[in-house]
Amino acid sequence: MSATPKRVLVTGATRGIGLATARAFLDAGARVAVHGTTAASVAHARETLGHANTVAAPGDLATVAGCAALVDAALVGLGGLDVLVNNAGVYVDGPFEAMDEATWDRVIDVNVKGLFFTCRAALPHLRASRGAIVNVASESGVWGYALGTVYCASKGAVINLTRALAIELAPEVRVNAVGPGPVMTDMLRAQIDDAPDPKAHAASLDAWTPMKRVGRPEEVAAAILFLASDAARFVTGANLRIDGGATAGR
């Protein structure tokens, strides 16, 4: 981060990677608008962060109006915007034949449409500050796997949307993405706990990466902080893979 405190909006900041990202920016001296779907979840996250430099920015990312509302709340609280981190997302898996229209709409509305319209609502303010956007994609956006068709489609869209925006918005606004592999969040812990053999499932996740372990939320947050900082001022259109090498050979 530069010496000047930045004004940052983090979507999906109530847990996991989003919460760790909000904390990383706060530790770097930024002021952070914390987004969650409900006012209650945002209040709980701000209490967990325990920092005076946070503001609430609740909103439903699945609607255009909700995207505008959360950006407006961030602007009221921060007085402007230097960085937008699009972290919010939903994960659904299952057989392709079982993926109905409601499931498709839910994943695409949050993971792609919500990201698109949050960027659009924030753009005038990011242009004014010559700011940066960091989108949270996934290793699932660069390779496909069985039972993950809808999620893979959504994260592939995030990566290519990042590239297109980087070209269109340059040089005023930089746009990059990070592509996490398996990261030990509460969602992954729940997945492990729900597996027929939790111990074996956890071991298989560790074995998946050449680094032989899953990632930590703060490791992804550090990469996001770098891409948003002045140290990355010549970086745009990148998808920085934070996956322990999982996609290096794919």
Of 134, 8, 3, the C-alpha closest to 75 is: 8
Q: Considering 25, 117, 151, 208, which one is annotated as catalytic?
A: 151
Distance between CA 244 and CA 37 in Å, rounded? 30
Question: How far is the CA of 149 from the CAs of 97, 98, 129, in angstroms?
Answer: 10, 11, 38
Classify the phi-psi angles of 142: left when phi > 0, otherwise alpha if psi is within -120 to 50, otherwise beta: alpha
Token pair in block for residue 88 = 């919010």
Is there a catalytic annotation at residue 91?
Answer: no
The full DSSP string for 147-215 is T-HHHHHHHHHHHHHHHHHHHHHTTTSEEEEEEE-SB-SHHHHHHHHHSSSHHHHHHHHHHHSTTSS-B
Beta bridge partners of 7: 31
82 phi, psi to nearest 5 deg = -110, -30
- Give dist(CA 123, CA 68) in Å, integer: 11
Is the Cα torsion angle 199, 205, 208, 211 positive or negative in sign? negative
Which positions are annotated as active-site residues?
151
